[in-house]
Amino acid sequence: MPFKIEIECSQKQKDSNIILALDVASNSRANLFSKSLKLLEQVHVYICALKLNHHLVLPLGLFDRVRQILKLAHRYELPTIMDCKINDIGSTNRIIAENYYKAGFDAVIANPFVGWKEGLQPVFEVARALQKGVILLCYMSHEAAWEGYGQTIQDAKTDTRTLQYLAFARKALEWKADGVVVGATYPEKIEEVARITTDKVPIYSPGIGAQGGDIQSAARAGAHYLIVGRTILNAQNPASMARQIREEAKLRKS
Ligand code: XMP
């Protein structure tokens, strides 16, 4: 099943559009692993997918403990996303994607700045062959995102001036990406991107809570999935926080 459909099914089945960013911190690797498993056990019923990044992959090892975390996520019927922001030349990008998919990830996040030919084309080829997903960065959630994603560019295809993130939204449609990432911290950008991508390319929004993004504004602007890390991970009761965010996201959508 294509990733876009897989996560849509999960969203319906779990009645949740919350993706947990499992960015656990600890000085001890054993502790990191056990904390990660415990958090996943606590919140899995309230989320529709799991996102990992280098917080866990670097200290725990991709084919070792990360693979075990992915297995647990799959046992809970949660699709898994590797937030690796692939950003190299094509031959290297291909290897990066192959390894993450082989370890059990269902989708990877990639950076469209590197372009198609000898850039992300090999990533999409691998993904399509394995029925896996590719989600593209469009406008990041942090303060300096405008320095790159917000630049005005001369679009080579149309020979008109446009904004970088709008050009990326169009590329996501053209390349048939499984999603685009637009920070919840910029609801007006979510709206602009949603007008281009419609429901063909779902919008993933990180930046809720800890980075200042608001569930209501992001959901109303058109975010399909909300990525949440620290607000859940650092809560006194992560399960009830995850449930609360899920309910709030549902309310705001209706
Ligand atoms: P917090 O703790 O802020 O975690 O809820 C957010 C998670 O999302 C990642 N992140 C991003 N990933 N594009 C991405 O692909 C972005 O613009 C972006 N902003 C935040 C972050 O690494 C963390 O895992």
DSSP string, 33-76: HHHHHHHHHHHGGG-SEEEE-HHHHHHHIIIIIIHHHHHHHHHT
pLDDT tens, 159-194?
999 999 999 999 999 999 999 999 999 999 999 999
Span from the CA of 159 to the centroid of ligand 1 (angstroms) = 33
Q: How far is CA 238 from CA 75, 184, 243, in A?
A: 20, 21, 9
What is the rounded end-to-end Cα distance, in angstroms, of the chain? 28
Q: With a 6 A CB cut-off, is 109 part of the ligand 1 pocket?
A: yes
Span from the CA of 154 to the centroid of ligand 1 (angstroms) = 28
Residue range 209-217: mean pLDDT, rounded: 91
pLDDT tens, 46-85?
999 999 999 999 999 999 999 999 999 999 999 999 999 9
Name the β-bridge partners of 37: none
Residue among 12, 51, 85, 132 flagged as catalytic: 85
Ligand 1: which atom is nearest the Cα of residue 210?
Answer: 3
100, 67 contact by CB (below 8 A):
no
Which pTM value belongs to this model? Answer: 0.97
User: Is 157 in the active site?
Assistant: no
pLDDT tens, 117-143?
999 999 999 999 999 999 999 999 999
Q: With a 6 A CB cut-off, is 21 part of the ligand 1 pocket?
A: yes
Which has the closest alpha carbon to 97: 77, 121, 76, 114?
Answer: 121
Residue nearest to atom 1 of ligand 1 (CA): 229
Q: With a 6 A CB cut-off, is 252 part of the ligand 1 pocket?
A: no
Give the three-state DSSP class for 117.
helix
